[in-house]
Amino acid sequence: MKGILSCFSMLFLFISCNNTEEKVILENSKKGKIVYDMYEPSEMANLMNQMYAYNEGVKKTIIAGEDIEGFPLDFLKIHSAELSDFKKRNQTFESFSKLFIEAERELYNPESDLSETDRFNNVVNLCISCHQTECTGPIPRIRKLLIK
């Protein structure tokens, strides 16, 4: 329930999952206090934004018919990066991060039977699947990564 609430408030704050700080800022500004911008994205939020930017590049490369580079090892940080305060690593998160990393590895497997486009879309669909359980806010943005 808490998760659902945070994701709702997130919709009209930043399009992110990190709304704890913003809530404090809102409450303080209502009380007429001077508010400094204390928003500091978590390690995980930074990683997510990096993964987004990286995959935008991969999408362009695939569409252009050029060769994609090797598996981006930085993505393995998904297993250890610190989440925002209000979020906890749980079983669901762990299983989805494993599936996601497997899909990423498959994308860079030249022996795969699937086309590069299908493998890339599998990766993006796993981003979306995990977000459906954790945080729905960024989903419309993530969907734009899919290759039609």
Interacting residues with ligand HEC (CB under 6 A): 16-18, 41-42, 44-45, 48-49, 51-52, 55, 83-84, 87, 93, 96-97, 100, 126-127, 130-131, 134-135, 138, 142
Specify whether the CB–CB gap between 139 and 128 falls below 8 A.
Answer: yes
* Dihedral angle, C-alpha 146, 78, 8, 125, nearest 10 °: 20
Closest CA to 10 of 31, 26, 28, 30: 26
| Closest approach of ligand HEC to the CB of residue 110, in Å | 21
Residue with Cβ nearer ligand HEC (48 or 66): 48
What is the closest distance, in whole angstroms, from the C-beta atom of residue 142 to ligand HEC in the complex?
A: 5
* 2 close to 10: Cβ distance less than 8 angstroms: no
As measured in angstroms, the least distance from the Cβ of 31 to ligand HEC is 26
Cβ atoms of 82 and 43 within 8 Å: the answer is yes
49 vs 109, which CB is nearer to ligand HEC?
Answer: 49
**Closer CB to ligand HEC, residue 84 or residue 121?**
84
